[in-house]
Amino acid sequence: MKKKGIRTVLATMLVLIFASSIIFGAGSTEVATKTSRKLSIAHVFATNHPVHLALLEANEMLKQKSGGRLELNIYPNGTFANYNDAVQAVIMGQLDMAPLDSASEYLPKAGVLLGPYVFRSYGHWTNFKNSELYENLKDEISEAVGVKQLDLYNFGFRNMTGNKPLVKLEDFHKLKLRVVNFPPYSEIATVFNAVGTSLPIGDVYMGLQSGVVDAQENPLTQIVTMKFYEVQKYLMLTQHMLAVSGTIMSEQTWNSLSAEDQKIIEEVFRFEADRIDQIVRDNENALIEEVKKAGMTVIDKIDTKPFRDRVGLVLERNPAWVEVYNQIQSIPD
């Protein structure tokens, strides 16, 4: 009887321990789902750039929609990593988010988004973003790169700067034009028939000042924030490429989120992308006035047909672009 009593007590204790583990385990799970989480995002832009400004607003929206559970830890100015390293860190799951300008290395046809004279206007871009083609491309990029492509946005049409007027094809003959040091940006040299010279963005100012390159092309936002007006006399509004980028999230991070939080993230970054587009449009005239005040001569009446006529050369070199290029061209402004 004594042994039986001991066994009964032990059995009761085990039942209590098991029940307690279920109760407290459930409580712990509940607490875990409510634990706050900081999602790190790194970019190379200055803190007055539209991308950074929109991220600050997106962060407030994220905190509000998640009841304070989720927020962004933003690293601007390349303080976390340069552009390429940040992208690789996201792919490897070492960083939650970063901008991805071109997925052409992984999905060749995606390079068309940064092709010369692909988008005709901001209205054309907006209609593209409202199309099925846009959603399909985001999904294809996600699968090819191994990330979650959250959005696409633009930070303005890219324009040319130089120390002499550059308005005709012959003006670019033998000109050393700085091009972004990864494809498909180098195709800009093709449409202008210039000598493309690769330089990282951080070296462009010095390259222009020292004569390593004669001219460069960038969106107005970048021309102003990088103060290229200090080393270039002319701004030509060639509007030869829409500077398209987007936000990617680590696949591991995305899969670790609940369905509810995934929905919140998608809503917030849809807002972020549209907000960048809006800031760019709203600020464009002010940026032109700013470079004028800084001493630049702005040339806005340019016959771009000779440059556009050379887009066919770019498509010949990038046959994977052709189908998507034609689909984008069929979208109205």
Looking at residue 10, its pLDDT comes to 39
User: pLDDT-derived band of residue 171, with 50, 70 and 90 as boundaries?
Assistant: very high
Q: Which pLDDT does position 280 carry in this prediction? A: 94
Q: What is the pLDDT of residues 110-157, one digit of tens each?
A: 999 999 999 999 999 999 999 999 999 999 999 999 999 999 999 899
CB under 8 Å to 127, separation ≥6 — which residues? 331, 332, 333
> What is the Cα–Cα distance from 244 to 154, expressed in whole angstroms?
4
**Residue carrying structure tokens 């700067």:** 161
**What's phi and psi for 226, nearest 5 deg?**
-90, 0
Strands 195-198 and 176-179: parallel
pLDDT classification of 196: cutoffs 50, 70, 90: very high
Structure tokens at 57: 């607003």
Under a CB-based contact definition with an 8 Å cutoff, are residues 251 and 97 in contact?
Answer: no
Q: How far apart are the first and last CA of the chain?
A: 91
CB within 8 Å of 150: residues ≥ 6 apart: 97, 246, 247, 248, 249, 265, 266, 269, 270, 273
Q: Return d(Cα 16, Cα 33) in angstroms, integer.
A: 26
Question: What is the average pLDDT value for the chain, to the nearest integer?
Answer: 90
From residue 83, alpha-carbon distances to 77, 99, 125, 181 in Å are 10, 8, 24, 11
Cis-peptide into 200, omega within 30 deg: no
* Beta pairing partners, 245: 153
Q: How confident is the model at residue 201 (pLDDT cuts 50, 70, 90)?
A: confident
Residue 324's CB is within 10 A of a number of other CB atoms, namely 19
- Pairing type for strands 147-162 and 176-179 reads unpaired
Q: Nearest-CA neighbor of 185 among 211, 218, 220, 156?
A: 218
Look at the block and give the residue holding tokens 């998507």: 324
Percent of the chain with pLDDT over 70: 90
- The contacts of residue 217 (CB under 8 Å, 6+ apart) are 158, 159, 160, 161, 177, 178, 179, 188, 238, 240, 241
User: Residue 18: which residues within 8 A CB-CB, separation 6 or more?
Assistant: none
**What would the mean pLDDT of 304-310 be, rounded to a whole number?**
97
pLDDT tens readout for residues 154-169: 989 999 999 999 999 9
Domains and CATH numbers, the chain: 36-329 (3.40.190.170)
Residues counted in the chain: 333
Mean pLDDT of 70-92: 96
